Structures are given as structure tokens and as C-alpha cells.
Amino acid sequence: MRIALIGAAGQLGTDLLKCLPHAHPLTHAEIEITDSQNVAAVLDPLAPDIVVNTAAYNLVDKAEDEPERAFAINAQGPETLARWCNEHNATLVHVSTDYVFGADAGRTLPYTEADESGPLGVYGRSKLAGEMAVQGGCPRHFVIRTCGLYGQAATKSKGNFVKTMLRLADERSELKVVSDQHCTPSYTADVAAMIAAILKTTEYGLYHVTNSGAATWHAVAAEVLRLAGKSTPVIPIPSSEYPTKARRPGYSVLDCRKAEQLTGLTMPDWEDALGRYLAEIH
């Protein structure tokens, strides 16, 4: 089984490579997913049976100012990969986001794969367009929605939430963190393990893969500092006191039972995952 892993140097890609050690790693410098000729030039010689795409434009606020770039990477790129995979009888694994949800204010139940999407901003809309391109362009596909990723290899563009909180706790006398956005921050090692297990099947389709449980970003920040032994106060604030260009979902917790039932694996609780991550980076 030949696997091409696109975005291999990123947070999720790094851990996927550990779970799929025989995969051929491809970084942004090695493949341009928005260019069909480049995609063919890179993938044709490799002849992968499976293409895993973790590449994404994930600057949520900046996407509001450059929607063309967001859609090029998050929608046009997956469409190009789906076309190549369909023409070469390959399977495409595409990673998406909880930000395809959020429009139904007042939501309090985790989203299943059957729930209607409703993104709030350009980033979410571009990722949803990418999902649809994959679903419509390649029958043998796995679309994996996940949330709030953090891992050993923090993204070059924005780091990750956990490392940011640790840094700010050393720089400031107190931290103010929003307490009205509910989601499930997820450790890339756990997400990668589940994706690798899903890949052993041919039950193609859409899957939610996050750690279990739900938390606000304030709760996550407080737990990060508690586990790290830092005493910096963490003050809860509403989103209205931390204005951003792009709106965030008030609730975007994902129901992962479909993936768990398929694989027999249980996704660890977010607090357990956070504890393991902090132990590893320290």
C-alpha cells in the first residue's frame, strides 16, 4: 500500500507520519495542490494508492481579507487532488474542521456527520467547499473533521493554543480568555491514530475525529496552566470583549461515535490528552 502524505511537516502530518511510517512525506515546498500539473508531476511517479491531505489555509481572521487564497488552498486544492485520485483509482483522505458549523446559535448537542453545516466565516466556507469537492470528485474518500489541534510540531503560521498560553503566562500578570466558545481541543497524536485506523477500512465517507468531552477556551487555558504548575490567573471573558475579524462558533463540539464504532477505538478525553501532551513537551 503506497501512501502520499501531503503536509507532512505540519502538526497533524508529523503525527500521521509516525502512525503511517511507510508513507511518502510531501511538504508545501514539494507539492502545490492548487496546480494540477504540479500535482500530476509529483504524484504520477509515486503512484500512491492513498493520498492524505492535511494541507490547509488556517488563518481564520486573515481569511476574511484574502478569501481568494483561502478558497484556492482549502477548496481548489482538494478538488485538484480529488480529480487526480479519481483518475488513478486512489483513495483521498482530506482533513476538515469543526468550523463548517456555527450558524445555529444556541446549539448545545454535539454535531454528528448527518447534521447540516453552517459556517460563519470565509475559513469555514472554504473548508466546506473543499469537503464538497472531495465528496463530489472522488468516490473513494474519507473526509475527517477535527477541532482545535495541538501537537509537537506547532504550526509555523500561528503556533498552537497550548504553547501560546504557556508563553503568555510567563509574559503577563494575568490571562483573559473567552469562556463562551465550546469545542474539543484535540491532540494530533490521538487524531492521527484514529485516522490511521479508519484508513484500514473501506467504509468511505465523512467522519468526526476529536478528543472526547467539551470545553471552553478559558477552561482549556486554566487546565494548561494548572498542569504546567503556573499560577498566572486566567480570567473568563465573553467573546464580545475579544473582538476578531471572523466570527467563531459558540458551539462546535463534534460527535465521534461513528469513527469509534467503525474502528473499535475510543478517543481519549481532552483533559487526559492535554496531560499527556504537556508531559511529552516538558
- Rounded to whole angstroms, the Cα distance separating 104 from 116 reads 10
Active site residue 204: no
CA 279 to the chain's CA centroid: 22
How would you class 6 by CB atoms within 10 Å of its CB: exposed for 0-12, middle for 13-18, buried for 19 or more? buried
Catalytic site residue from 57, 99, 111, 123: 123
Would you please indicate which residues are annotated as catalytic (active-site) residues? 123
